[in-house]
Amino acid sequence: MIDVYIDGASAGDPGPSGAGVFINFKNGNVENHSIPLGEMSNHEAEYEALIIALDLCIERGVNMVSFRTDSKLIDDAIEKRYVKNKRFQPYLEKAIARIEQFDLFFIKWVPSNQNKQADSLARKAIREN
């Protein structure tokens, strides 16, 4: 099981946005991904970070993952498989379709101070826009 930390950030609402993904393979290998996302809201950036991280894991053939996010919105949406704001429904559907490809998938909300690496990567991506 690998650990994946995700974060989305936006400089404005909407504004230049970025996704940060930190993957710890627990064998001494780690990956840092900083992906510029263009103009979008912070919530959209959080969803994009989730989907990008899921795709990265699938591309690497990983089948057991434990995700961490400091976004209650993302954690709640995945746990309940429901979004209150229908604008985010397509994001949720994309994420669930990917999640179903894993043998084991966990997601856990963590405080921001436990997600600093992904946050730093997301903020770096904003600057790269």
User: Is 33 within 8 Å of 18 (Cβ atoms)?
Assistant: no
CATH number at residue 107: 3.30.420.10
Task: Using pLDDT thresholds of 50, 70 and 90, give the confidence band for residue 2.
Answer: very high
Euclidean distance between CA atoms 60 and 127, whole angstroms: 27
- Predicted TM-score (pTM) of the model is 0.97
- How many residues are there in the chain? 129
Query: Above 90 in pLDDT, residue 13?
Result: no
- pLDDT at residue 57, rounded to an integer: 98
As a whole number, mean pLDDT of residues 27-52 equals 97
Euclidean distance between CA atoms 95 and 79, whole angstroms: 12
Q: How many structural domains are present in the chain?
A: 1
As a whole number, mean pLDDT of residues 84-88 equals 95
User: Residue 71 is part of which domain span?
Assistant: 2-128
Residue type, 5: Y
What are the φ/ψ torsions at residue 31 (nearest 5 degrees)?
Answer: -130, 140
Q: For the chain, what is the mean pLDDT?
A: 97
- pLDDT at residue 43, rounded to an integer: 97
User: Is 45 within 8 Å of 122 (Cβ atoms)?
Assistant: yes
As a whole number, mean pLDDT of residues 53-73 equals 97
